[in-house]
Chains A and B, each alone.
Chain A
Amino acid sequence: MPPYVLPDRFDRWFAARGWAPRPHQLALCEAAAAGRSVLLVAPTGGGKTLAGFLPSLIELAGRPGSRRARRLHTLYVSPLKALAVDIARNLEAPVAEMGLDIRLETRTGDTPAARRARQRTAPPDLLLTTPEQLALLIAHRDAPSLFGALHAVIVDELHALTGSKRGDLLSLGLARLRALRPELRMIGLSATVANPARLARHLDRTERVSIIRGPGGAPPRVSILDSAERVPWAGHSARHALGEILAAVRQARTALIFVNTRSQAEMIFQELWRSNEDNLPIALHHGSLAAGQRRKVEAAMVRGELRAVVCTSTLDLGIDWGAVDLVIQIGAPKGIARLLQRIGRANHRMDEPSRALLVPANRFEVLECRAALDALDENLIEDEAPRAGALDALAQHVLGMAVAGTVGVDALYAEVRTAEPYAGLERATFDRVVDFVATGGYALRSYEQYRRMRVMADGTLRITHPRVARQYRLNVGTIVEEPMVKVKLRRGRVLGEVEEYFIEQLAPGDTFLFAGEVLRFLGLREMQAEVSRTSGGEPKIPAYAGGKFPLSTFLAERVRRMLATPALQRGLPRQVRDWLALQRWRSLLPPADHLLVETFPRARRHYMVAYPFEGRLAHQTLGMLLTRRMERFGYHPLGFVANEYAVAVWSLDPPDRIAELLDQDMLGDDLEAWMAESSLLKRSFRNVALVAGLIERRHPGQEKSGRQVTFSSDLIYDVLRRHEPDHVLMQATWAEAARGLLDLGRLAAMLARVRDRIVWRRLDRISPLAVPVMLEIGREPVQGAARDALLEEAADELYAEAARLV
């Protein structure tokens, strides 16, 4: 077969700019011309987006006569609306330069209603949008005609849109588009992933998707900061390395400084400015800052006015900034894929390597950074385990389909199963979800007369009242924000938003870091946190809640291997090697396939420290379960702490049945008993209830509708758990908690792996390896069971006063 040749007009355009079409761009055009779906895997900077659009541009350029009524030709879906807007702007240049008669528009939450309505009746050729907008479009009665002539769907950053509820909803939307338009071509664009074949199935699992790999580009140059300072035992502040970070910024043109949490971003930003003697322009960017302020930072970045931006995952994805030539990652990367994504933000030119500097904040993080770097050298990346699609996301989709009112319930089931996350969905489960959407799905069938949706005589699903469509549109999407509170200067402007739970921790008079300033909390007034600026004094920073992202299984395994293999420790800094040597002398370095458990007395208590390296969430769950079992075994446990690498439990009596304590059977009755009395599931339930449409989102302005008695999802949870614990939403809640909050899968795998492989060291004092986790003691919040005890403590203190008044 002759190689694919671009049409003349396109060839000339490339030539005029001094470019040549890249092989992967041509391969993609060729596959598209043959009507095949494609997944393009390439690092950033490889002309990936243009490659995705080229086939559509070519088809549209060759379209005869322009007077005819136009229909939507290509739909582009991006995880970020800013990205959709930016891509549209970038596409306008080639379209104009080639003189193509093509209309392209964006559609996001910010698009005016009039234009959105017009986009349905007179659609552009190319529409660039987000997953939520796609859900709204297909939930419309006229979706069949809108998408009836659709040729192609391009999903950008596909890797970032899988493995989440948002990805679930998108995959259901894509399934709908395929049903409306069977000849549709799918194009997925993705960064490097471990398993492209599986990712391709997210695009289309009904037929084979061709996988095209872009050029690898120059390998990144990544190093770990070998600090001359003493690396701390614990903590995440990286204060010790600030001078060295500033020095690196000084040598770069523009640096992106990534951290893992917002509070960390605030802290680093503050500290950098404190020692920024050259007044380098350094900015701050994270999700809590007011949108206007973030846009300002981004604009300054585009104009090349900044030398560094301290940022969180808000800048993991996004538009290209040519000037960035250095990425600094503060704290451990937690996973290779995330690290690669961040490194790729430096230098979007293919031929030059990206430069990155990893700054571990404590000694364990040094190990983690080293393990990540070794994996990068070997071109390895973690393969995230596939997960079943969430039932609450499915419920939302089912309601959307009833709003559209054009799909039969049997056809919908068949269609849903073509979406990769729901390939294994059983009919009985699907029917329960449908029943939930219609009547709430309760065993006590008391809401028949209030049903929101019914199956018509011809089998189609329809809503019963226009109000249901309004509710659906207002609540679409799977991103559930924590309840937020605006931070506002007294008699001044709004600085941004923080999570309500954070404000709840503050007492009037407390100071905290926000938007790069030290603020004093004055109080809550009408859902706004009033603050004043303050100078001097240490701000009260919230206890670091750990990385938002748990340590990946893959990276954990490599850290374990490094500890077990002396040869792999050679690349470590001297102070870390000394620490490990001391551990080897005092106790033992954890062997690769074994679980090291140490016990030792300290201050009249007995400590047990285990080192599973399975991430904070799994360790917290383990700690909860261990304390329950120790109670039963009569050791009188007093508390526990967990970090990413280890868990420590302390008790009045020394534990001696270690293997029994760590038996897999803890995931049976102990887990159930704990869940029954824990309030942990309530958080998951709230998310599930919002996404599934059981309760509505709060919309801006709604709070102000007078004095209202708040209605909490906790109350619903309590009632449902007691009276219908098998309800489909409880099932969805459990699935979400097991995966998210508890990380049960990982804990179970670990317990199975170390069965009969527990190495117990009985020590007379704390071991060097135990120091970091022991330092966490006192930072953990008190668990639910202690509630009454705390209340009583308050009571004792206040009882005298109470007696006087009453």
Chain B
Amino acid sequence: MLVNGTRLVPDPSGALWWPEARCLVLADLHLEKGSALARRGALLPPYDSRASLLRLDRLIARFQPARVICLGDTFHDADASGRLGREETARLAQMVAATEWHWILGNHDPHPPPGLGGMPSQVLRLGPLVFRHEPAGEAQAGEIAGHLHPKAAIRVRGRRLTGRAFLTDGMRLVMPAFGSYAGGLCALDPAFRSIFRHGFHAWIAGERRVVPVGSNRLEAFGSGTAILSSDLARP
């Protein structure tokens, strides 16, 4: 995958690997979303943070990155880092300490997590790439963003497959959410149409591979505001 001329490798886990800079990028971990929902009466299994961090741990072991960038909404809400279990906090702190760690701040976590180290910022520029949480209104070459949790669906031999997706038009990229409880928004949602005015490719995550599919081949799915796929072809 090329974004603004930079070669990037989308991983089936939902993370992005930038080999040249030895940089691992993650979007929307939404740690402690489970306990946030529990507080409102939905007692979902409290293992979401543990599961997300375990997956992250494995990725770091595999790629040995020099840099890690979390694209915001790493924590589900402002006091989520306080609710994170002791073991999970220690594991995360260890990961942060081991590499150059950047926290991009998101709408769910507008302040950097206290006591974990790492470098907070709103926007981070590294060479040809710009990292931010929410895609900017104006098209910006090399922008890598999260926030929207894209998922995409495609039909193959009559069967519909859906998966988390990296959306890119070669200029900018919207990454899928990495968090265990972070659901998805259909790639054909109008929210993406305003970002990619001339179509895009969805790199859909399978079990072991990530596969590119043109936006004109995608299908709408799920609830929310899915739109006609033919609308996308219209100027």
Contacts and interface: CB of A to CB of B under 8 A. Distances in A.
Contacts, number: 172
B207 A439 contact: no
Interface in A762-806: 781-782, 787-788, 790-795, 798-799, 801-802, 805-806
Task: Sort chain B's interface into a size bin.
Answer: 35 or more
Interface in A708-737: 708-712, 715-716, 718-720, 722-724, 727
Contacts of A442: 45-47
Contact of B42 (A694, A720, A805): A694
B39 A791 contact: no
A693 to B, nearest CB: 9
B181 A507 contact: no
Contact of A525 (B41, B47, B189, B227): B227
Interface stretch (B16-24, B58-66, B99-107, B149-157): B149-157
B180 interface: yes
Interface in B185-235: 185, 189, 191, 199, 201, 204, 206-209, 211-214, 217, 219-231
A333 B42 CA distance: 42
B111 interface: no
A508 B229 contact: yes
A535 interface: no
A792 B212 CA distance: 9
Interface stretch (A221-229, A407-415, A465-473, A654-662): A465-473
Contacts of A801: 214
A707 interface: yes
Contact of A719 (B163, B181, B184): B181
B1 A798 contact: no
B7 to A, nearest CB: 11
Contacts of B170: 805-806
B38 A447 contact: yes
B225 A526 contact: yes
A801 to B, nearest CB: 6
Interface string B124-141: 000000000000000000
Contacts of A711: 181, 183
A694 B163 CA distance: 24
A787 B1 contact: no
Interface string B42-82: 11111110110000000000000000000000000000000
B203 to A, nearest CB: 9
A798 B212 CA distance: 8
Given A523-B230, A795-B211, A795-B212, A708 B223 contact: yes
B211 A440 contact: no
A806 B42 CA distance: 43
A782 B157 CA distance: 9
A6 interface: no
B160 interface: yes
A361 B88 CA distance: 60
A527 interface: yes
A524 B51 contact: no
B183 A712 contact: yes
A694 to B, nearest CB: 7
Nearest to A790: B156
Contacts of B214: 798, 801-802, 805
Given A709-B149, A787-B207, A795-B213, 5 more contacts: A468-B41, A696-B42, A715-B180, A791-B163, A805-B169
Interface of B: 1-2, 35, 38-39, 41-48, 50-51, 85, 149, 153-161, 163, 168-170, 180-185, 189, 191, 199, 201, 204, 206-209, 211-214, 217, 219-231
Interface of A: 439-440, 442, 444, 446-447, 450, 452, 465, 467-468, 471, 483, 504-505, 507-508, 522-527, 694-696, 698, 703, 707-712, 715-716, 718-720, 722-724, 727, 781-782, 787-788, 790-795, 798-799, 801-802, 805-806
24 contacts: A440-B38, A442-B47, A447-B43, A450-B41, A508-B228, A525-B227, A527-B223, A694-B43, A703-B224, A707-B189, A709-B182, A709-B224, A712-B183, A715-B181, A715-B183, A718-B180, A719-B47, A719-B48, A719-B181, A790-B156, A794-B217, A795-B211, A802-B214, A806-B170
